Structure 1
Amino acid sequence: MSAGDDRPPREPDQPNDLEALSARLRDARATRRAEGHQPDGEPAPRSKAEGVAWRLAVEMVSALAVCGFVGWWIDKWLDSSPWGLLIGLLLGGTTGLANAIRVALAVQRDAEAADKTSSPRSGQ
C-alpha cells in the first residue's frame, strides 16, 4: 500500500464494490418504479414539452442570427447599409417562424397519433 492511498485494505470476504453498487442501483430503480416514476430512459412529459419549447426558441434565434449576419455582411460588401441587414432580418424572422410552425405541427401530429393508439375507439 502506498503512502498516498487512503483506502483501507480489502478483506477477502467483502463483496465486489461494483457488484454491490449494481445491486443498490437495481433496488433504487425498482423502488422508483413502484412509486410511479417514469421508467429509465423515458423522459417525463414535462421534459418533452420543455425540449420542444427550447427547440422552437433555438430555431427562431438561429434563423434571425444567421440571416441577419448574412445581410450585414452583404451590406459591408456592397456598401448598401442598412438594406441588406433589414432584408436579412426579415428573411430570418420569416424562416424562423416557418420552422417553428413546422415543428409545432409535427409535435401536434405525433401527439394526436399517440392519443389514437393509446385510447380505444368508442362506439365500435
Structure 2
Amino acid sequence: MRTLKNLTAFVEKEAEADGPAAQAELQAQRDCFRIARELALLRKAQGLTQAQLSARAGVPQSEISKIESGKANATGLTLFRMAHAMGHAFRLEPVASAVTPRSPRRPAPAKQGRPVRKRATRSRELEPA
C-alpha cells in the first residue's frame, strides 16, 4: 500500500543517500511549504479570500493560489508583501542546521599547452549622420 508516510520515508532516505546538498534542498523545500501553509492559515483566519489578499498585497491571485498549494516557490519579497498585507511580518534569522554546507569549489588549474593567439580586432568608428 502506497501512503504519504511511505513516500516521505523514501524521499528522506534518497536525500540521505545523495548527501548533504540533497538534505539541505529537502529542508529548504520543507521550509517553503511550512511558510506557505502558515500564510494560508493566517489568510483564512482573517476571513480573507485570495482575491482580497491579492488586492492588498499587490500580488496576483493566481500566484497566491500557486504558493498556497505548493506549486510555486515565492520570492522573499512576495512572502513579505503577503504577510504585511495581513498585518504581520517575517523575521529571517540564521539557525543551526544538521546539514553542513559544501565548501566552495576552487577553479580548475589552467591547462598547459601551446599559447593561444588572440585575434586582432578592428574598431569601427561611427560616422556622424
TM-score by length of 2: 0.30
Structure with the higher helix share, 1 or 2 = 1
Higher relative contact order (CA 8 A, sep 6+): 2
Q: Which has the larger radius of gyration?
A: 1
